[in-house]
Structure 1
């Protein structure tokens, strides 16, 4: 049977998109060229916004218990603490506070959720060609098979085959900032309740506690300037520089389960859509890893795209609605790219002026509680809103496009619940019967009727927990669904 959407890439973005589409009643197939799921990953941080998305997919359970809540980052110059930053709970009724957990574990939970929804990734299925027509796309695979679908979603990373076959440009730079990554057990007395980092003339080094007693070691190291080294060479290099940069005589790298070298990309796709082909995650934007924003931004892309594509597929909305996907998500990718670039330059400052500004000016300032609260809120992405986008609006707060908090509500039978738990592929009408009937008449059965426990204006909430509109929804729906 021909699926509505063919998702290329079974990473966190592709899995999120597939799960969300299935929640909306859209048929999906997921293909990935890899022979099987990854067991290691570079990303290892899930901020509050990511937890909210996973919770709305019913894919969060188990992850908080598997994670490490190492939210304190202490930066040293040798053995002298320079700054201690606390990333806490944003305090906005989020599904989970920030989690240190590998992307591989997040993907495993998403695969489980995908299986619960009746779909499994098809491994070893490499995309080699795409033919498009007015009604859909035909994907050619490396083994000679073809797959027909109405829409194609490229969630296949920075080297995206989908993006290349669609002819979408990916301007930017691959810079000389090269980092070593090693997951290993250490002989050390470092405190596992937080992350430690060291500034050093030859480059920064960080150690983050991971589940299972391991540490994730990250080091800026332009020394490997030739061919890509082997994992053994990377481990040996890390073993040597670890005591040098930390200044801890007794620290030793015992054994490593994984090692990698990566160079930073800074790129942004020319467009997120080419007809019936759409891009999400690293296929659309690539940036430095500082701040843990990559997987978070991609997961947000997928949730935003899913409800819009579902409305188009169901014939409720015209495909012009898909243009709002890029309009809402591209400004965030641009902002994340700029922020991660600035953070990278601060962390790897090599000249005396740059090191002085970082070590003597910026680091001490980050000991201030107000800046630590700002850092927690900024990295959480709970501030992300779309009021300036084509579906946004002006007026009293909350404004169309704003994130709606996970407020306490009641179902029509009086049962207590929470807003975000009721979304999960549905819209929410918070208010009286007129609002609910108007929304249901336009959007179909995927609208839940709720009443807020505390007084709120009557509002229609999108499936991604952003405000569609307050009051009578017909005017907003006229514009959005045209």
Structure 2
């Protein structure tokens, strides 16, 4: 085998998966059909759980300092404020505030981390064919080279070639909701401490502050009929509708660094695995961008899959463990798909009934603090739990499958540390020596022994920060890794 795992796609999901696998000691190759790294991106939001995943990959360094903390969302009807949401406040029970930062910059940091671990993407290397057998996958690249790997993971986006080669259906729709997207400098007095949005009969418009003094402008524009407009046409269209929809006579688009037109897809793969071929990220699920859930969900896919693949490859678990990847992650993607679809419908409502529900029912509700806390917590994905999945369980909280917060702990030498900082390719046995030794018998050196600083139950924590079990882990490990 040339690699234990071949990862197709060097976007954030493919890079995160490769890093996590390398942390577990798995040999990885990453290939991508693009000639080189992307310098622009539609995604520009990392929620609290995304920050946690990046931290566990040791890839968060520098990103918070570069990001913009847009902590409020203010919605206007013309120049009249309708709703102001405090969003992502770290005081609202979140582990970290969201980061407003380009996906391209997140990818750059992930590539740096991958290089630290001895890996690098192979650009201009598309997977064009793949045959699997009982022991591995033989993939053919665009230049005719072949790669033999134990497993192939498609992180190659909405149009995933790997998904098509595996014969996995991707049902759903490409809807007629067309959006303009422009990164630009503005002549404006808009407050850069938060995001601004406007409801308008012609379509919603949003302005989000970005690093470097730029703004990300997003506009729903069904009246724009150009099939394949140039960036100049998109910018000119945005330049015209910006003052019209905001009602701000003095606002001007000065210069743009990037522009794009996109239509929303809503699709979910029938399966996340077909034999030795698996899917993650947009190759498995795609939806509207509202709520910033796309990259966040994909990063969670990568972390969930990595530790399971590592155990199977290392001979510590049977292949049945990989079935829990779909069982834990696909229900979440279904929820995200439904939520983003509902949010999109609210944002672009143009009929009298839709406008009434949004302006007279939803707006007053979202001005309530309890609803704002719920919104922050929901979009952060800190609530995600696998307690109802095949590895979950019952009992008092936290229950098996629940996310374990980043609590303070001590190493056995008395050094203070954080739980999540110790989960970089490892499990954590939090408790006495007997718990640690029981976990070590099944997991070997993949488990670290920690002592709680505060009152916590003795527990075994998975590498993705979800609770495996409380107390003696022998029975749980025997069942999960069979």
Equivalence for 2:134: 134
Determine the C-alpha separation between the residues in 1 that align with 2:226 and 2:260. 15
Determine the C-alpha separation between the residues in 1 that align with 2:81 and 2:202. 18
Determine the C-alpha separation between the residues in 1 that align with 2:226 and 2:237. 14
Aligned length: 482
1:368-419 Cα shifts (integer Å, max 9, x gaps): 1111111110111000000000000011111100001111111111111110
Equivalence for 2:105: 105
Structure 1: runs of 5 or more not aligned: none
Equivalence for 1:304: 304
* 1:158 and 2:125 are equivalent in the alignment: no
Equivalence for 1:73: 73
Equivalence for 1:201: 201
Determine the C-alpha separation between the residues in 1 that align with 2:42 and 2:329. 23
Determine the C-alpha separation between the residues in 1 that align with 2:91 and 2:151. 39
1:212-269 Cα shifts (integer Å, max 9, x gaps): 0000000001123352211111001100100110011111111000000110010000
Question: Aligned-pair RMSD on alpha carbons?
Answer: 1.0
3-state SS of paired residue (2:121): coil
Tell me if the contact between 2:87 and 2:376 (Cα under 8 Å) persists in the aligned partners: yes
Tell me if the contact between 2:92 and 2:376 (Cα under 8 Å) persists in the aligned partners: no
Equivalence for 1:422: 422
1:435-468 Cα shifts (integer Å, max 9, x gaps): 1001001011010000101121110000000000
Equivalence for 1:21: 21
Q: 1:145-184 alignment to 2 at 5 Å?
A: 145-184=145-184
- TM-score w.r.t. the length of structure 2 is 0.99
- TM-score w.r.t. the length of structure 1 is 0.99
Structure 1 residue ranges (4+ consecutive) displaced by more than 4 angstroms after TM superposition: 90-95
Tell me if the contact between 1:136 and 1:149 (Cα under 8 Å) persists in the aligned partners: yes
Determine the C-alpha separation between the residues in 1 that align with 2:276 and 2:223. 44
- After superposition, the Cα gap between the structure-2 partners of 1:93 and 1:370, relative to the gap in structure 1 and judged at 3 Å, is closer
Determine the C-alpha separation between the residues in 1 that align with 2:424 and 2:90. 22
Determine the C-alpha separation between the residues in 2 that align with 1:405 and 1:349. 38
1:283-309 Cα shifts (integer Å, max 9, x gaps): 000100000000000000000000000
- Structure 1 residue 92 displacement after superposition: 7.8
3-state SS of paired residue (2:434): helix
Determine the C-alpha separation between the residues in 1 that align with 2:395 and 2:436. 22
Equivalence for 1:143: 143
Determine the C-alpha separation between the residues in 2 that align with 1:95 and 1:122. 35
Equivalence for 2:386: 386
3-state SS of paired residue (2:179): strand
Tell me if the contact between 1:205 and 1:219 (Cα under 8 Å) persists in the aligned partners: yes
Equivalence for 2:481: 481
3-state SS of paired residue (1:50): helix
Tell me if the contact between 2:8 and 2:14 (Cα under 8 Å) persists in the aligned partners: yes
Tell me if the contact between 2:220 and 2:348 (Cα under 8 Å) persists in the aligned partners: yes
- Structure 1 residue 71 displacement after superposition: 1.7
Determine the C-alpha separation between the residues in 2 that align with 1:280 and 1:413. 39
Determine the C-alpha separation between the residues in 2 that align with 1:114 and 1:88. 29
Determine the C-alpha separation between the residues in 1 that align with 2:224 and 2:382. 38
Determine the C-alpha separation between the residues in 2 that align with 1:93 and 1:186. 34
- Structure 1 residue 91 displacement after superposition: 4.3
Tell me if the contact between 2:43 and 2:292 (Cα under 8 Å) persists in the aligned partners: yes
3-state SS of paired residue (2:139): strand
Equivalence for 2:345: 345
Tell me if the contact between 2:94 and 2:377 (Cα under 8 Å) persists in the aligned partners: no
Equivalence for 1:463: 463
Tell me if the contact between 1:52 and 1:94 (Cα under 8 Å) persists in the aligned partners: no
Tell me if the contact between 2:92 and 2:373 (Cα under 8 Å) persists in the aligned partners: no
Determine the C-alpha separation between the residues in 1 that align with 2:397 and 2:370. 24
* 1:40 and 2:40 are equivalent in the alignment: yes
Determine the C-alpha separation between the residues in 2 that align with 1:246 and 1:329. 39
Mean CA deviation greater in 216-225 or 39-48: 216-225
3-state SS of paired residue (2:241): helix
Equivalence for 1:61: 61
Determine the C-alpha separation between the residues in 1 that align with 2:256 and 2:92. 38
* 1:280 and 2:280 are equivalent in the alignment: yes
Equivalence for 1:443: 443
Determine the C-alpha separation between the residues in 1 that align with 2:57 and 2:459. 22
3-state SS of paired residue (1:173): strand
- After superposition, the Cα gap between the structure-2 partners of 1:92 and 1:446, relative to the gap in structure 1 and judged at 3 Å, is farther
Structure 2: runs of 5 or more not aligned: none
Mean CA deviation greater in 352-361 or 3-12: 352-361
- Structure 1 residue 8 displacement after superposition: 0.3
Equivalence for 2:50: 50
Determine the C-alpha separation between the residues in 1 that align with 2:335 and 2:83. 25
